């Protein structure tokens, strides 16, 4: 809702006529009644960011901001995104998926993966349900907790280092920001309830920063993303950089990470909103006419 109100204010400042449509039961009817030209998606997490709303907009033939159906679904499914990163030879922490039915077998599935490890919902946002697990006894409770949010957990190797997020508009990097938080995991509390520090640019050498931004853009492209996005990475103390995830609809208030990055690149919040709107489109498929015989 905060993202939505911030976007509405910016769009109205730019002279656009804006209709608020709340995502929920009856969304298809609400969209038809709104009679809009384009949908600016101010949604986060499941349903809004996982391809379902994008699929509805495709059926209604309404252009929308951000990535298409497949890219949105792939980015939201963190274990699947991880497989695609590996397919494209992009470094990412080793991990595995655990369903709710197998939660009590988590230690058996963990095998020799070692500790500490990170446990989080396989499909989710805002770092809800995230835990850093230091020993075998805490693994099953952490998996059970993560499975509360969607029924599946992702368990992955813990990488100690600087968390860096890279902002992308269109198919170009806007810049990057280091997120330094007061505790071990960048969970919901750390993200939204204070104590976090931001460094723009990140505290990396220029060469390493450029490499991190290139890795982020490669991850964004590997999932087939478009429009805009934000890629989260970890830069380890051993000079290894790994991709964590791609956010296809990142937080979008003037104080959110992507707008912070855009501001340093010279784009104020209304200009960024307009840039995202300008790239609204659909996954249109055309059937070519048969060649003359």
Any idea what the CATH number is for the domain that residue 153 is in? 3.30.1490.20
Pair (118, 63) in one structural domain = no
Pair (172, 222) in one structural domain = yes
CATH number of domain containing 25: 3.30.470.20
Question: For residue 57, is it within any domain?
Answer: yes
Q: How confident is the model at residue 267 (pLDDT cuts 50, 70, 90)?
A: very high
Pair (57, 113) in one structural domain = no
245 is in an annotated binding site: yes
Cα–Cα distance for residue pair 274/262, rounded to 1 Å? 12
Pair (169, 46) in one structural domain = yes
Give the pLDDT score at 248. Answer: 96
Model confidence over 59-81: pLDDT tens digits?
Answer: 999 999 999 999 999 999 999 99
The angle subtended at Cα 75 by Cα 121 and Cα 190, nearest 5°, is 50
Pair (170, 262) in one structural domain = yes
Q: Please state, for a pLDDT cut of 90, what percent of the chain lies above it.
A: 80
Range of the domain at 142: 94-157
Pair (228, 274) in one structural domain = yes
Question: For residue 289, is it within any domain?
Answer: no
Checking if the pLDDT of 108 tops 70, the result is yes
Give the pLDDT score at 293. Answer: 67
Checking if the pLDDT of 239 tops 80, the result is no
How many independent structural domains does the chain possess?
2
3 state DSSP class of 58: helix
Model confidence over 155-166: pLDDT tens digits?
Answer: 999 999 999 999
Question: For residue 290, is it within any domain?
Answer: no
> Which of 27, 31, 3, 29 minimizes the C-alpha distance to 19?
31
Model confidence over 159-202: pLDDT tens digits?
Answer: 999 999 999 999 999 999 999 987 555 444 555 556 789 999 99
Average pLDDT over residues 240-259: 94
Pair (174, 211) in one structural domain = yes
Q: How confident is the model at residue 40 (pLDDT cuts 50, 70, 90)?
A: very high
Question: For residue 209, is it within any domain?
Answer: yes
Question: For residue 179, is it within any domain?
Answer: yes
Six-digit token string for 285 = 């498929």
Pair (211, 232) in one structural domain = yes
206 is in an annotated binding site: no
Pair (271, 201) in one structural domain = yes
232 is in an annotated binding site: yes
Pair (25, 50) in one structural domain = yes
Question: For residue 228, is it within any domain?
Answer: yes
Mean pLDDT score across all residues of the chain: 91
Pair (182, 234) in one structural domain = yes
Question: For residue 111, is it within any domain?
Answer: yes
Pair (170, 252) in one structural domain = yes
Six-digit token string for 17 = 């006529």
Average pLDDT over residues 192-213: 89
| Residue finishing a domain among 104, 131, 157 | 157
Question: For residue 127, is it within any domain?
Answer: yes
Decide if 76 contacts 121 (C-beta within 8 A): no
Q: How confident is the model at residue 286 (pLDDT cuts 50, 70, 90)?
A: low
| Residue finishing a domain among 127, 157, 187 | 157
Decide if 136 contacts 119 (C-beta within 8 A): no
| Residue finishing a domain among 111, 126, 157 | 157
Q: Between these two residues, 234 and 128, which has the higher pLDDT value?
A: 234
Query: Which segment of 189-198, 263-272, 278-287 scores lowest on mean pLDDT?
Result: 189-198
Number of Cβ atoms within 10 Å of the Cβ of 223: 24
């Amino acid at each position: 809702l905060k993202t939505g109100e911030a976007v509405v204010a910016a769009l109205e400042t730019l002279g656009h006529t804006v209709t608020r449509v709340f995502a929920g039961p009856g969304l298809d009817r609400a969209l038809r009644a709104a009679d809009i030209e384009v949908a600016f998606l101010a949604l986060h997490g499941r349903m809004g960011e996982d391809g379902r709303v994008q699929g509805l907009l495709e059926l209604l033939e309404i252009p929308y901001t951000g990535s298409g159906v497949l890219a949105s679904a792939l980015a939201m499914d963190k274990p699947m995104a991880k497989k695609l990163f590996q397919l494209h030879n992009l470094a990412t922490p080793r991990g595995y998926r655990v369903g709710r039915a197998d939660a009590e077998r988590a230690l058996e599935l963990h095998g020799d993966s070692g500790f500490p490890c990170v446990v989080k919902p396989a499909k989710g946002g805002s770092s809800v349900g995230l835990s850093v697990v230091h020993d075998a006894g805490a693994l099953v409770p952490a998996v059970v907790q993560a499975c509360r949010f969607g029924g599946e957990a992702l368990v992955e190797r813990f990488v100690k280092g600087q968390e860096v997020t890279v902002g992308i508009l269109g198919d170009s990097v806007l810049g990057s920001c280091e997120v330094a938080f007061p505790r071990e995991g960048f969970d919901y509390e750390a993200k939204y309830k204070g104590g976090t520090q931001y460094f723009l640019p990140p505290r990396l050498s220029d060469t390493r920063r450029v490499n991190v931004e290139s890795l982020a853009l490669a991850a964004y492209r590997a999932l087939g993303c478009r429009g805009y996005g934000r890629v989260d990475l970890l830069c380890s103390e051993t000079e290894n950089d790994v991709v964590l995830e791609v956010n296809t609809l990142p937080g979008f208030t003037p104080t959110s990470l992507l707008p912070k990055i855009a501001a340093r690149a010279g784009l104020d919040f209304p200009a960024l909103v307009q840039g995202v709107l300008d790239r609204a489109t659909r996954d249109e498929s055309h059937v070519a006419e048969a060649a003359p015989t």
